[in-house]
Amino acid sequence: MTNRQYFKKFTAHQDLLLLLAVLTLLLLALLKPSVPVKRDIHSYFFIVDITQSMNAADMQVNGKPASRLDHTKQLLHETISSLPCDTKVGLGMFSGVNVVTLYLPVEVCANFSAIQDTLDHVDWRNAWTADSRVRESMLSTSRVVSNFPEPAQVVFFTDGEEAPKLHAFNTRDLSTLQNADGWLLVGIGSDKGAAIPKYTEKNQLLGYWSHESMQLAPGAAPIAAAGLLNRKKDIAESVNDRYLSKLSEASMQAMAKEISATYVRGDSFMTLQSTMKKQKPARHEWTPWSLSSVLAGFAGLCLLLAYLPISRFVKKDKANNPPPAFTAAQF
């Protein structure tokens, strides 16, 4: 039997065959078949530097001068708002040498309001020590994340200010650091820099940290060490005596390279978002992908074809396109 004969038999029983196909496809769809599909799972652990150098006002929020901490919080608000559902978000704070977890990564859409509210309440007064040892905090971050029930992608926001300043005797060796591959270090601050304001426990401005004071207790402002907050000799007596804090970009870039992390400057949401999209997912998982909608779609197509007289279109096409007639000129 030729192809033409098969086609004639099909067109003769077109409606019946297509309706049988519709019925078969719908029955298969009711069985809810699925196939395993590999899916990227994104789970972020955002860490915010809350040391006092993050109060330096050399950034902007909505076009107005703002502290590094306020800029970081705005950056995180925008980032979290852009994340798709099923993404998980956790939040932590850094001060001294330690990173503390405010909450483990949770699904962003179901917990959106709680996440944003927690972020709003992140404050420099939550700091628990006078030091700011960013380099050493990498080890603390590794320990914290390794205890999570599931892997997480670390995004660490800091100006990189080390307090006390790094020297050969206090520079932590990071060669043994585990699981930092894929971390993202976000630099907050400017090259020009700004003075670090000194506040009371009630957030009232006393003045600005002096060069001399920063040799002793630079960077962070501890609430526990109330004596340091009230020592007037730590306040700069003139503009020229103010300690100027800048983004420690070179040291952050070197540290990122050393621990196999990625460094990005956190000046804009678009730059941060673009870099985060290049991060490796926290993990992969195989999830079932339902074929019911696909089968139902094919059933709908077959139902549509059942009402299209294919044979008529074929005949009409032949009638409208007769074979070319030969003329005397062609012989």
List, run by run, the mean pLDDT of 10-residue segments along the chain (331 residues). Answer: 59 69 81 72 94 95 95 97 94 95 96 96 90 92 94 96 77 84 95 93 90 59 43 74 93 94 96 92 65 82 71 49 51 40
Beta-ladder partners of 99:
94
pTM: predicted TM-score of the whole model, two decimal places: 0.74
Q: For position 298, what pLDDT does the model report?
A: 82
In degrees and rounded to multiples of 5, residue 292 shows phi and psi of: -60, -45
Q: Cβ atoms within 10 A of the Cβ of 272, count? A: 22
- Where do the DSSP E strands lie in 50-178? 59-61, 64-66, 88-95, 98-107, 153-158
Residue intervals of the chain classified under CATH 3.40.50.410 are 38-286
Q: For position 331, what pLDDT does the model report?
A: 40
Please state which architecture CATH assigns to domain 38-286. 3-Layer(aba) Sandwich (3.40)
Q: For position 224, what pLDDT does the model report?
A: 39
In angstroms, the CA 44 to CA 281 distance is 9
Q: For position 25, what pLDDT does the model report?
A: 78
* Complete DSSP assignment for 16-39: HHHHHHHHHHHHHHHT--EEEEEE
Q: For position 308, what pLDDT does the model report?
A: 66
In angstroms, the CA 280 to CA 260 distance is 12
Q: Is the dihedral of CA 265, 247, 83, 138 positive or negative?
A: positive
Helices (H), 215-291: 226-230, 249-258, 269-276
Q: For position 235, what pLDDT does the model report?
A: 86
